[in-house]
Amino acid sequence: MKYAFFPGCSLESTAWDLDKSARAVCKALEIELIDIPGWSCCGSTPAHVSNASLATALPAMNLQKAADMGMPITTVCASCYGRLRVANQKINDSDEERERVGRIIGKPYDGKVEVHHLLDVIVNKLGSEAVADKVERKLSGMKVACYYGCLLSRPPEAVAFDNPEHPSVMEKLVAMTGAEAIEWPYKTECCGASLSISNSDVVGRLSHRLLSMVRRAGAECVVVACPLCQVNLDLRQADATAAHGKLPETPILYFTQLLGLALGLPEEELGLEALMVSAAPLLSMV
């Protein structure tokens, strides 16, 4: 399997551990990732709330490069994934939009490059049998809450590879590792996403609400597939519990880190030391 890899800006800073663990896991699973040469920012939320033309053109620059590579794209960031898919949808739905984007990026792009989140690639394209063969360490006894947040399953017409209100792809991935995915009601509730920096008080309230439900449902850690969800639940966890009530410390792992552990990859290759809330106490028990 070969994919054009779109890392996205977060993977060069706050989510370097996601970058490292995604590459390590793909190597172990024989998924070849080729970085899109000269990739640039997808524009994320700030572009689509500010300028509709820019919001489609920025992802299209990268989509067009992948078209030249002749490969489908995979990405690990829920926001990049959503912006790339929404741009494709807009370009496919309207000739006017396609022509406008062509004028802005200076090259024609037809909206036809496939975009998959790496979760989808591992669970649905590679499949559980292929992964099961490579699992070396069953994470038995670990109770995990799968958290999708908003952008992995919404808006459904553009992005969903799963049921938008009750997705289960991450639960399938957790099952591959031998850990137990608990049922909980807030898995597609928003963490405040891009309000993280400007309205951290709102994000603190939302993160606390999510974390207390995680604990009430009996999970000891959370698995995420989005750099913003990770920051809002991990980096802001101490502030959230200080402001809204004490909770046991809850490690927030990327799906690639959890899978990497099950594949027997060394912790250094998974960037576990980057977590603000350490996963060490939890891992010493499995």
CB 26, min distance to other proteins, A: 21
**Closest CB 275 distance from other proteins, rounded Å:** 8
**Residue 32 or residue 35: which is nearer to other proteins going by CB?**
35
Residue 16 binds other proteins (CB under 8 A) = yes
Our finding on whether 208 is near other proteins (CB under 8 A) is: no
* CB of residue 126 to other proteins, shortest distance in Å: 28
Closest approach of other proteins to the CB of residue 213, in Å: 13
Candidates 1, 135, 213, 276; binder of other proteins (CB under 8 A) is: 276
Q: Which of 58, 82, 74, 68 is nearest to 5 (CA)?
A: 74
* Site for other proteins contains 38 (CB under 8 A): yes
Selected range binding other proteins among 24-32, 112-120, 122-130, 194-202, rule: CB under 8 A: 194-202
213 binds other proteins (CB under 8 A): no
Can you tell me the distance from the alpha carbon of 36 to that of 200, in angstroms, rounded to the nearest whole number?
33
Angle formed at CA 146 by CA 208 and CA 30, multiple of 5 degrees: 135
> Which amino acid, residue 124?
N
Among 126, 195, 217, 247, binds other proteins (CB under 8 A): 195
Does 70 interact with other proteins (rule: CB under 8 A)?
no
Tell me if 140 contacts other proteins by CB under 8 A.
Answer: no
Give the relative orientation of helices 78-93 and 95-105 as an angle to the nearest 10 degrees: 120
Counting contacts by CB under 8 A, is residue 202 touching other proteins?
A: yes
CB of 182 to other proteins, least distance (A): 22
Instruction: Say whether residue 277 binds other proteins (CB under 8 A).
Output: no
Regarding 193 and contact with other proteins (CB under 8 A), the answer is yes
Of residues 214 through 253, those in contact with other proteins by CB under 8 A are 235
Among 4, 206, 229, 279, binds other proteins (CB under 8 A): 206
Residues binding other proteins (CB under 8 A) = 9-10, 12-14, 16, 37-41, 43-54, 57-58, 61, 100, 103-106, 149-151, 154-156, 164-165, 188-190, 192-195, 197-200, 202, 206, 235, 273-274, 276
